[in-house]
Structure 1
Amino acid sequence: MDTGKLTKVKLVAYKKPDFTDKVGDYDVLINPEKYSDKSELKYSTNSSPVGSSAETVKFRGAGSNIFNMDFFFDSTGVITDEPVDRQIDKLKALIYSYNGDIHEPNYIKIIWGTQSLFEGRLKSWDVQIIMMDLDGTPIRAEVKAAFVRSVSVKKKALEERRNSSDLTHIRMVKAGDTLPAMCFKIYGESRYFIQVAEYNGLDHIRSISPGDQLIFPPLI
């Protein structure tokens, strides 16, 4: 719900990979106009016959998840007269600099209001001076930052456990669903549709309709 109150993007730094043991936080001076969240999938390529125009690719797993956000700094007096380099140093100390307690940079959570936009670590940092005073002093700058997602071992294990084919899954049929396709999503293979049909007492694999609940038992 829109409360009409301006909230600033906040970056919170932590020592531990499960985003505990807070180090500090930073409220941006100017909220960004946009941000991007890019995810990739990894595939391996099989050799194709000579003369073939296409290659066979096999899914290997999830790739990197990169979050990009630009930060703006201004010391013209419109918002603040604190020197730009000092503003940048405050943010840099939190998200870029080496933390001697953990012997590496901090873990960062990016929050905007009630939304947790991203959890990860800084990957790259690019400072661009876009306005200078007559003596060359920076008075307006932009920092382009890229973050890579970081998931704690405990959280990753929990997510993998939830998606494991060793567990019983209950799914509601949606429009366009087929039993083989649903089996593929859960087991990674569609060939178990006969066993699932028998387990659910279906006369035919097409005997499913939107709204039906199906049980997908653990693989034996």
Structure 2
Amino acid sequence: MPEGLRIYAVGDIHGCAARLDVLHGLMAEDAAKAPERRKVIVYLGDYVDRGPDSRGVIERLLGPPPFAAETVHLAGNHEALMLAALDDPGDLRAGALWQMNGGGAALASWGVDPEAPQERWAEAIPPAHLAWLRGLARSVRFGGYVFAHAGVRPGVPLARQDPEDLIWIREPFLSSTADHGAVVVHGHTPGREVVLRRNRIGLDTGAVFGGKLTCAVLWAGRLRLLQA
């Protein structure tokens, strides 16, 4: 990382608002002791679905950060599934696909009966929440790290990555040993532990499946893990 910059990268939240509150507290404690002048929180996407409080997660992320920091909110594939169902209520296949991937829990957090007609789903979701979801970025780079929800396609320059790969890819990215031009910090593929490899850092530790919610703190040439 450039001198004076400290990054906090948060893995997949999936409606675990209470766990996010705990992690935010740990991040604030770390930031209070950190000498870097510039601090940035990068959220890696998948804020909604499966967990109990998708609405609460978005409300927290729309509010002020847990300490004085810039924030970057990246899109995940679950936000894409949600918007596909809400933006075209006549596409029943998109609605069913979202429901199969935990969309019912997300709808319930906004007080929507998942059995209600699909054209009624978006009515209960605040316009500010939908606008925020539509404005999510696909990737961001700081120093020698690039951040994306799912990863990158090996062999494709970072500036020419397919936006769909950035939120959906697993293989051949996960098994690749290639130098991607930067260390890729990502979520999307859950595991019991953080994945630390020469070319990537995987931060989805399955919070919604009973695992931990993870934040990687990156500064200079160092890394620290915070977990709730």
Using the size of structure 2 for normalisation, the TM-score is 0.20
Indicate the structure (1 or 2) with the bigger Cα radius of gyration: 1
Structure with greater contact order relative to length (CA < 8 Å, sep ≥ 6): 2
Q: Which one has a larger percent helix, Structure 1 or Structure 2?
A: 2
Q: Which one has a larger percent strand, Structure 1 or Structure 2?
A: 1
